[in-house]
Copies of this chain bind each other. A is one copy, B any other.
Amino acid sequence: MKFDNQQNTMHIKPQIRILAIDDSPLIHEKVTLIGAYFRGGEQLDGILRSEIKKDGMDATDVFIRMINSSKFHAQIRVVLLDGVTYAGFNPVDINSLFKETGVPVISFMRSCPDLEKIKIALMNLPDAEKRWEIIQRAGKIYKIKQDKPVFFQFFGLDKESAVKIIQLTSTHSNIPEPLRVAHLIATGVVLGESTGKA
């Protein structure tokens, strides 16, 4: 694999500070991003809001700015993403995200993405090759074998730490609580009432 993950073993406290980022439904050209800043899997301690373009190429830069300009930046030990494409096919380069923020990244997925389907869908968009390259940079997809299996990619931390963080924070479902909450807020704020897995 060309883009090796760094093997930083982490000490993971139950109250580890996490920023989870999710996006709103695609009803406008500008898509709202919500960052939910959590202590472990229990307590919401802050909210960030930003926006990116539907099928744009600005996600990586906006995510970096969101994190680096936040008063929580120094406390955030890991960023939790909902996959590596937001607002349609606006890809997040998790390598750059780690390098530019200093914060390790976990991309979490409830199901294993069909990369061939994604590759074909990208062909209808400008910069298809660049998008595909960024998506591939997220590296190998790992599976956590459990009652309802989940999947993840990571950069800037070791695999065992990523698994521990996902398991520690999945307090109310098989979805890490910070991501579940970011999803509820992102849908609720844009639609007037939240949707999806609660």
| Total copies of this chain within the assembly | 2
> Which residues of A (153-195) have their CB < 8 Å from a CB of B?
172, 181, 184-185, 187-194
Most chain-B CB neighbours within 10 Å: which of A42, A47, A192? A47
Residues of B within 8 A of A189 (CB): 34, 47, 49, 185, 189
> Which residues of A (36-59) have their CB < 8 Å from a CB of B?
42-50
Complex contact B47–A194 (CB within 8 A):
yes
CA distance A185 to B187 in the complex (A): 13
How far does the Cβ of A24 sit from chain B's closest Cβ, in whole Å?
A: 11
Interface size class of A (residues with CB under 8 A): 20 to 34
Residues of B within 8 A of A10 (CB): none
Complex contact A47–B193 (CB within 8 A):
yes
Complex contact A46–B184 (CB within 8 A):
yes
